[in-house]
């Protein structure tokens, strides 16, 4: 695995290029990238993402970087339905498996247009070039799975680059959360190295 500091240096350079911003040179593939990292480096990754956003705001380059945190989105959706306390009680009485089932039903995660992707689409900058950063993957696991978000998002967001920050491993075919837990295969994203 490429050292994390080097990966972030490469990311800063890459997002400045017009070909990346415009999804060019990808053989008609959607511009989805998975930036995998050691889960123990979560705080470092958050800090680096924050630095990138601050730099972009301090010296605008004409492209907007939007960060969508899956944990925040999940809580926003749950709160809209008024279910936060019910889920806390459900986990205490029935365990996490029941919470996962109910949460996936409420957020329609098995549907083509689930509420997570709909939230991202509704809040997406439409006033110029945009790059989307998806964060919070580890915070929502196993309730929301990365491959489900990516699979449905490609049907809604296909013209702008998306960078998912993934605490685990991705080998261009298989996602492995936290370096140990297998998710379903996902082969449409490029491995950001």
How far does CA 169 lie from the centroid of its chain?
14
Could you tell me if residue 23 is inside a domain? no
The whole-number mean pLDDT for each consecutive block of 10 residues of the chain, a chain of 193 residues, reads: 88 89 67 90 96 84 90 92 83 83 85 88 88 93 84 82 90 72 64 76
Terminal-residue alpha carbon distance, the chain: 8
Q: What is the pLDDT of residue 1?
A: 61
Structural tokens at position 143:
């309730």
Could you tell me if residue 24 is inside a domain? no
DSSP-derived secondary structure letter, 180: T
Could you tell me if residue 146 is inside a domain? yes
Could you tell me if residue 21 is inside a domain? no
SS3 assignment, position 175: strand
pTM: 0.88
- Domain of residue 71, residue span: 4-15+29-191
Could you tell me if residue 20 is inside a domain? no
Could you tell me if residue 85 is inside a domain? yes
Q: What is the pLDDT of residue 56?
A: 85
Could you tell me if residue 39 is inside a domain? yes
Q: DSSP labels for 31-79?
A: -EEEEEE-GGGHHHHHHHHHHHHHHHHHS--S-EEEEEEHHHHHHHHHH
Q: What is the pLDDT of residue 122?
A: 93
Could you tell me if residue 67 is inside a domain? yes
Domain count of the fold of the chain: 1
* 48 HSE (CA, 13 A, CB side): 19
- Helix ranges, 59-186 (H): 70-81, 84-94, 96-106, 115-122, 137-140, 146-153
């Amino acid at each position: 695995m490429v050292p994390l500091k080097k990966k972030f240096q490469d990311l800063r350079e890459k997002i400045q290029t017009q070909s990346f911003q415009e999804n060019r040179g990808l053989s008609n593939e959607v511009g989805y990238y998975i930036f995998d990292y050691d889960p123990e480096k979560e705080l470092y990754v958050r800090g680096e993402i924050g630095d990138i956003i601050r730099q972009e705001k301090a010296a605008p380059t004409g492209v907007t970087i939007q960060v969508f945190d899956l944990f925040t989105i999940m809580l926003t959706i749950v709160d809209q339905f008024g279910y936060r306390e019910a889920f806390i009680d459900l986990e205490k009485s029935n365990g996490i498996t029941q919470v996962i089932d109910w949460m996936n039903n409420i957020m329609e995660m098995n549907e083509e247009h689930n509420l997570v992707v709909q939230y991202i689409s509704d809040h997406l900058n439409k006033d110029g070039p945009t790059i989307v950063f998806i964060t919070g993957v580890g915070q929502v696991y196993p309730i929301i799975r990365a491959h489900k978000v990516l699979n449905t998002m490609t049907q809604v967001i296909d013209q702008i680059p998306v960078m998912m920050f993934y605490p685990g491993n991705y080998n261009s075919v298989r996602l492995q959360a936290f370096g140990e837990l297998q998710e379903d295969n996902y082969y449409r994203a490029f491995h950001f190295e």
